[in-house]
DNA sequence: CAGTGGTCTAGACCACAGC
DNA sequence: CTGTGGTCTAGACCACTGA
């Protein structure tokens, strides 16, 4: 496991921050001191400190020095795991299955700017399906696929493999946007999810692009009693 | 705005990835080619590529080459902005206010392991308050503060400044965990949020530590019709 | 084997902060 | 002014990959 020198320097500093020995705002020794302490060149020290700064663990100010960061949650963001449902279900020890419950090839609704943009000059493949854990519905998925972007989709079955996985292997995306909210289940969704109408659901909307071309848009409604998303945050410490 | 050379190199590569010119899996030119192309030393090219690799935009394999990353959502995580409510409300052009509706200093419930751990050898300050946007309730907050960790909390007013902001300025945290779910409003919450009982709410649970010491635990229930969380993800592209 | 990236050196010049 | 970090050079040695 022989770590490189700049990794060791970085690790030593991270340890001091984690343990609280160097609290937020504390001054990190200047590069020339670390050079002497570790007996290495300035580039090596600089790399360790630059990476720490890049990760947000410290702040470097030219002419002034380097300082341990003070977290500031107004702007901070956290790493949220957006689950691949099949993977998530399997990791909890349940049997995963997908059931397709609806499928249409149609034109975009002209009122819905998002649909028009997604469709481009082509049509949309609209899919509806259920994600099941041990046979129990856990999430309802409504998906639109741009046929322009994914011609193969019209001939794919989707009767057991969820469209998300199918797409992933054929159309690698380069950009995604997620929106997370809560809403009561409408009558149709409630019936499919086997809950009372109005039951609170976690709603995850995801839009995906490849380059500038929109690829797919999906709304997944999770039974609120069965699903959580989890996020951790430590500023810049590995 | 004269960008440094390694930033320009990085930016040029990012542009090619973003535009799809270099799709996932595409081979990035080796360092010696980029040296020649930009007329610079290898360290400069190396810095650009290392930072891209660090950010996850490319994968570098010694002996093989550098390749544009293929996003892999099972494991990938996205940057989710966990909002400071006051800041968020203000940014939407509304008038923000906080109203304290409950306050108790009490012992932890012995059945709740989380409360016991939070309290340590001391008591808990339990606060309940409403976040208002233009006078309209937008979120209900139930918070526990470890008096051990924040002695000053027992004498603070919290009648207009939300406890989150107050804490932030006095107890910089080093680690946080968030859990996001959905649940129907119970009778009490519904009354305070001025919605029908059972209305779907987005539930955000946050636990915060300073070093190894737990500091506070808060549950914020947002009216599902009034609030969304948004996350973007582009693999490693600024 | 040749190609590629990972790391490191011992310098250098510059911009900026604070005294 | 001195001290600090930001950037860059022109080399070097090594470890690993794939043909």
* pLDDT number for residue A75: 47
Burial of A116 (0-12, 13-18, 19+ CB in 10 A): middle
Cβ contact A111 with chain D strand, < 7 A: no
The pLDDT value recorded for residue B1 is 60
Interchain contact, B182 vs A233, CB within 8 Å: no
Instruction: Tell me if A77 and B73 make a contact (CB, 8 A cut-off).
Output: no
pTM confidence score: 0.78
**Mean pLDDT in order along chain A per 10 residues (238 residues):** 88 90 92 96 96 93 92 59 76 90 95 94 94 93 94 87 83 80 94 94 89 90 77 61
pLDDT recorded at residue B191: 96
Which whole-number Å values give the CA distances from B51 to A6, A107, A238, B9, B55, in the listed order? 15, 43, 16, 11, 6
Interface residue B155 vs chain A (CB under 8 A) = no
pLDDT in tens, A164-173: 888 877 777 7
Å between A39 CA and nearest CA of chain B: 21
A65 phi-psi bin (left φ>0, alpha ψ -120 to 50, beta other): left
> What per-residue confidence (pLDDT) applies to A103?
95
Give the pLDDT of residue A118.
95
Measured distance CA(A231)–CA(A224) in Å, rounded: 17
What pairs with residue A67 in β-bridges?
Answer: A27, A59
Question: Could you tell me which of A118, A176, A170 has the C-alpha nearest to residue A147?
Answer: A118
pLDDT of residue A74: 47
- Residue A209: the pLDDT is 87
Mean pLDDT of B210-227: 86
pLDDT, residue B11, reads: 94
Report the range of poorest mean pLDDT among B106-115, B168-177, B214-223. B168-177
Cβ-based burial of B127 (10 A; exposed 0-12, middle 13-18, buried ≥19): buried
Enumerate the residues of chain A whose CB falls inside 8 A of the CB of residue B221.
Answer: none
Pick the residue of B90, B181, B195 with the most A CBs within 10 A to test the interface with A by mutation: B181
Residue appearing with tokens 């930009």: B38
Mean pLDDT of chain A, nearest integer: 88
Q: Scanning the structure block, which residue is given the tokens 């599902």?
A: B224
| Residue partners of B181: CB distance under 8 A and separation at least 6 | A202, A224, A227, A228, A229, B202, B203, B205
Residues of A with Cβ-Cβ distance to B82 under 8 angstroms = 73, 76-78, 231, 233
Task: Indicate the residue of B51, B79, B200 with minimum beta-carbon distance to A182.
Answer: B200
* Average pLDDT value over all residues in chain B: 88
- Check if residue A66 sits with its Cβ under 7 angstroms from strand D: yes
Nucleotides in D strand less than 7 A from protein CB: 3-12, 15-18
CA dihedral sign of residues B112, B117, B122, B125:
negative
Assess A74–B contact: CB distance below 8 Å, yes or no: yes
* pLDDT for residue A52: 95
B14's CB contacts (< 8 A; 6+ apart) are B52, B57, B237, B238
Q: Could you give the CA distance from residue A129 to residue A100 in angstroms, rounded to a whole number?
A: 4
- pLDDT tens per residue, range A40-69: 999 999 999 999 999 889 999 999 999 998
Long-range contacts of A43-50 (CB under 8 A, 24+ apart): A43/B43, A44/A5, A44/A6, A44/A9, A45/A6, A45/A9, A47/A6, A48/A6, A48/A7, A48/A9, A48/A10, A48/A13, A49/A13
């Amino acid at each position: 496991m022989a770590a490189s020198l700049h990794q060791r320097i970085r690790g030593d500093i991270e340890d001091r921050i984690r343990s609280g020995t160097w609290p937020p705002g504390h001054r990190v020794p200047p590069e020339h001191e670390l050079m002497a302490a570790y007996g290495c060149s300035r580039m090596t020290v600089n790399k360790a400190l630059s990476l720490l700064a890049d990760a947000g663990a410290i702040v470097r100010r030219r002419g002034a020095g380097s300082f341990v960061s003070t977290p500031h949650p107004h702007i901070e963001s956290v790493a949220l795991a957006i689950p691949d449902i099949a993977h998530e279900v399997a990791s909890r020890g349940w049997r995963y299955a997908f059931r397709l419950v609806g499928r249409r090839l149609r034109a975009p609704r002209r009122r819905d700017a998002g649909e028009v943009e997604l469709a481009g000059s082509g049509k949309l493949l609209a899919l509806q399906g259920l994600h099941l854990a041990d046979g129990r519905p856990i999430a309802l998925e409504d998906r639109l696929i741009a046929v322009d972007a994914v011609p193969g989709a019209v001939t794919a079955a989707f009767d057991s493999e969820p469209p998300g996985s199918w797409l992933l292997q054929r159309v690698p995306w380069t950009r995604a946007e997620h929106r997370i909210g809560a809403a009561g289940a409408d009558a149709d969704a409630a019936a499919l999810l086997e809950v009372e109408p109005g039951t609170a659901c976690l709603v995850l909307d995801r839009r995906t692009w490849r380059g500038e071309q929109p690829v797919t848009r999906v709304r997944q409604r999770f039974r609120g009693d069965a699903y959580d998303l989890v996020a951790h945050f430590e500023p810049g410490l590995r």
